[in-house]
């Protein structure tokens, strides 16, 4: 009924879609973290991509640097996620919080986090070297459905990023801390009035976003490489997803993440990987020209 070529093409496209879905799910995770911190603190974090690499490097360090490979990813998660939380919390308290008391603090925070990004990049180069590192797949092997082949790794990445987004959503909607985070995002003055310690919520939110993007780093570094210099480009990607979705709209960010994951996968497959960034930024520019508030932003 179908020619051999058509069937091959179908398999190839399926592969591309799966790649797009698994990358897109991690982009979604990163965009949610970025949206959260932007929505709550109204400040832009330039070091976001370097926290992605921090996740990757810490995982690498535990598995190979410290020789705890036997513990596999469960041990990595148990150790790395709390470390990321503590690092995020401490950095917010030490670097960002003091700036918030000053005038024009949003710009100062941007400069500060830009400095932090450069600092972390240089730190990674000194500690881990300029050679790229890689992480093993979280799960080896493939799932075969008829002629279709799915890598367990892709399935795991997809499932883990989506479940952590759902978990975050649950926390935001059903816990006291989550309610407080949303309150600060919606009305900081109202939050103060009811007695929410705003400073603590700012730091907690920053820490949560650090965990989310670092977790994304652990997941995606299995497919990419960990490169000390890649923080900038990863931050820009997360920003593209966030801006495309509409800064501050979590649903928009999710939507945009999968659009971009798919776009990258398809353009990379059809034209070659070097074109995917062109397509990505082309899409962002076009969206912002025709819909400056992003896909689902609330506008001004």
**Footprint on this chain of other proteins (rule: CB under 8 A):** 176, 179-180, 182-183, 186-187, 189-197
Minimum distance between the CB of residue 164 and other proteins, rounded to whole angstroms? 23
Nearer to other proteins, 107 or 187 (CB): 187
Q: What is the DSSP string of 202-244?
A: HHHHHHHHHHHHHHHHHHHTTTS-B-GGGHHHHHHHHHHHHHH
Minimum distance between the CB of residue 191 and other proteins, rounded to whole angstroms? 8
Nearer to other proteins, 114 or 179 (CB): 179
Minimum distance between the CB of residue 207 and other proteins, rounded to whole angstroms? 20
| 3 phi and psi angles, rounded to 5 deg | -75, 160
Residue 54: closest CA among 24, 91, 28: 91
Residue 279: closest CA among 253, 224, 240: 240
Nearer to other proteins, 39 or 294 (CB): 39
Nearer to other proteins, 69 or 199 (CB): 199
Minimum distance between the CB of residue 180 and other proteins, rounded to whole angstroms? 6
Nearer to other proteins, 180 or 220 (CB): 180
DSSP summary character for residue 196? -
Are 124 and 53 a contacting pair, CB within 8 Å? yes
Minimum distance between the CB of residue 168 and other proteins, rounded to whole angstroms? 17
**Whole-angstrom distance, CA of residue 267 vs CA of residue 274:** 9
């Amino acid at each position: 009924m179908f020619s051999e070529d058509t069937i091959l093409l179908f398999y190839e496209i399926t592969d591309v879609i799966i790649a797009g879905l698994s990358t897109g799910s991690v982009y979604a995770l990163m965009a949610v973290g970025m949206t959260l911190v932007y929505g709550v603190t109204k400040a832009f974090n330039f070091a976001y991509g370097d926290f992605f690499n921090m996740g990757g490097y810490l995982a690498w360090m535990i598995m190979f640097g410290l020789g705890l490979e036997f513990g596999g990813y469960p041990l990595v998660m148990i150790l790395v996620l709390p470390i990321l939380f503590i690092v995020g919390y401490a950095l917010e308290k030490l670097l960002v919080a003091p700036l918030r008391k000053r005038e024009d603090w949003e710009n100062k925070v941007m400069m500060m986090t830009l400095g932090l990004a450069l600092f972390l990049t240089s730190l990674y180069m000194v500690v881990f070297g300029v050679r790229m590192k890689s992480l093993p797949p979280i799960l080896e092997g493939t799932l075969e459905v008829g002629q279709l082949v799915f890598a367990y790794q892709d399935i795991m990445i997809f499932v883990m990023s989506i479940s952590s987004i759902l978990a975050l959503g649950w926390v935001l909607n059903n816990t006291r801390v989550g309610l407080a985070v949303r309150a600060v995002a919606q009305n900081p003055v109202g939050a103060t009035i009811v007695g929410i310690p705003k400073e603590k919520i700012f730091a907690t939110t920053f820490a949560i976003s650090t965990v989310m993007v670092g977790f994304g780093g652990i997941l995606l570094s299995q497919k990419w490489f960990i490169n000390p210099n890649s923080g900038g480009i990863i931050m820009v990607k997360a920003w593209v997803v966030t801006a495309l979705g509409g800064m501050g709209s979590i649903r928009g960010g999710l939507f945009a993440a999968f659009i971009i994951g798919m776009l990258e996968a398809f353009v990379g497959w059809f034209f070659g990987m070097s074109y995917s960034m062109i397509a990505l930024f082309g899409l962002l520019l076009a969206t912002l020209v025709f819909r400056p508030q992003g896909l689902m932003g609330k506008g001004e």
